[in-house]
Structure 1
């Protein structure tokens, strides 16, 4: 199974940032490594490991560190940082050890606890809007990276069951996709045509708002990657082999602003449907050319 080097790097960077902040607090208090270790109490070697990102502290160690350094006001922010780090690491382990169906079950549970879902996707159709054929293609692509192929049928079935939340009128769904999302050949033409029909149908639900950003739009913020906001408590970002969960308030606020920027750039209603229809025609023509050349 391939190592997830990008996620490992993310975890390492986050731990280093936390350690650097702890070091700053110690130095700001005028304490040496030895003095802090004696006051906690903690072995000097562990103080060094925490400050250099080689080990993560516990909640109690963060609290004690801040109190000794006279920085109680930093406790809450540091605990959020620590918990975000732990969540990222847990997600990485879960994805690497479990199958795709397990991932879908976890996502379904999280969606069931959410009232407002805002999602921007520049590359592929959001999971809750996918058809079985499109979802299967996505699962097969993921399997090439994760090496998890045995449970694809189950994973697709769970993803389809997840879509039941779309019909719960006490929930709100806001989706923004790029026109490019409709044109990428990530699945066979007939599957993509069915997918476009599905998007048109779901966009008519009263609690679903779908926006399409045209090709010729001038982006205020570059569409670097897709992301989903769950209420105002979590941001999820899917990478090639795992999912990052961002829970710090400043991260949630940042992605909220980015989503609104993307939403303002999108077309809705009849204009969005026109983009979908245009994409379907282009796919039909592309498919006809390929068939003619075979």
Structure 2
């Protein structure tokens, strides 16, 4: 399936209209379809009016109840996955103000309890020193003082005992020389410090050894309900359960090859020493 960002807004309306049309063609009322699907009639109504975006499982239940052919199920399933995907391009974020994106992330972190961060290229702002955060925005035009301040404010969530964070960084992400050498050493020291927080589990993937996997993107999974995938031009927000499970499985595969706890801290301290 090719993902065209221009489709993402329209796809929700298209999906609602498609499901409504298929029900009518089958000669079923909303009440009768709800009974066949074991859903509430109000849920069917919200799906058909676009007020609720159904999951892929919901859509498959509806299509089976309508005796839809396999080809149609696949076609509508593809539309459902697009409808459950949100595209946030960086240019739009910059126009609106990067501090607004930080507020959105803070809200998401407030509502979630378990987090998994896979960081193959860069250190997330939750783990960053102020110098590192400033360096990540150095090539972005404008005054980002508010965005930097909010990035630093968000770090307080790491001290919330009700939450659990798992950070997995590659050696490349840790050692990429974004800052002068003394500042890079301080940044790595911060990783060691944060790794000792009760709410944090931090692992590293050294370049030495054999890792038969091919990471492509930075991604984060919030609980088991949402995943964000970062590219060089924007962020995809995935809400379909199967997409989220796919990223959870990928994260688990990387976990098995990583160093954790004291072993991770020893390796981080070695890398920090190389910058001193």
Same fold (TM over 0.5): yes
Hey, what does 1:225 align to over in structure 2?
Answer: 217
Aligned length: 230
- Paired residue secondary structure (1:235): strand
1:281 alignment counterpart: 273
Q: Does 1:140 align with 2:138?
A: yes
Q: Where does structure 2 lack aligned partners over 5 or more consecutive residues?
A: 27-59, 64-72
| Residue from 185, 193, 200 that aligns with 1:208 | 200
**Cα distance in structure 2, aligned partners of 1:178 and 1:105:** 27
Distance verdict in 2 for CA 1:115–1:79, change over 3 Å = farther
Counterpart pick for 1:265 among 212, 236, 257: 257
Q: How far off is 1:189 after superposition?
A: 1.8
Q: Which structure 2 residues correspond to residues 27-106 of structure 1 after superposition, within 5 A?
A: 56=11, 58=13, 60-68=16-24, 72-73=62-63, 77=77, 80-85=80-85, 87-88=86-87, 94-106=92-104
- 1:162 and 2:115 aligned: no
User: Following TM superposition, where does structure 1 have runs of at least 4 consecutive aligned residues deviating by more than 4 angstroms?
Assistant: 68-71, 74-80, 90-94
* 8 Å Cα contact 2:89-2:233 kept in structure 1: no
Q: Supply the distance in 1 between the matched residues of 2:152 and 2:234 (Cα, whole angstroms).
A: 20
- CA offsets, 1:241-262, max 9 Å, x none? 3211111111101100000011
User: 2:3·2:82 contact (CA, 8 Å) conserved in 1?
Assistant: no
Higher helix fraction (1 or 2): 1
Residue 60 of structure 1: CA displacement?
3.3
How far 1:76 moved relative to its partner? Answer: 9.1
C-alpha separation in 1, matches of 2:175 and 2:89: 31
Query: Residue 9 and residue 97 in structure 1: after superposition, are their counterparts in 2 closer, same or farther (change >3 A)?
Result: farther
Q: Is the contact made by 2:131 and 2:183 (CA closer than 8 Å) also made in structure 1?
A: yes
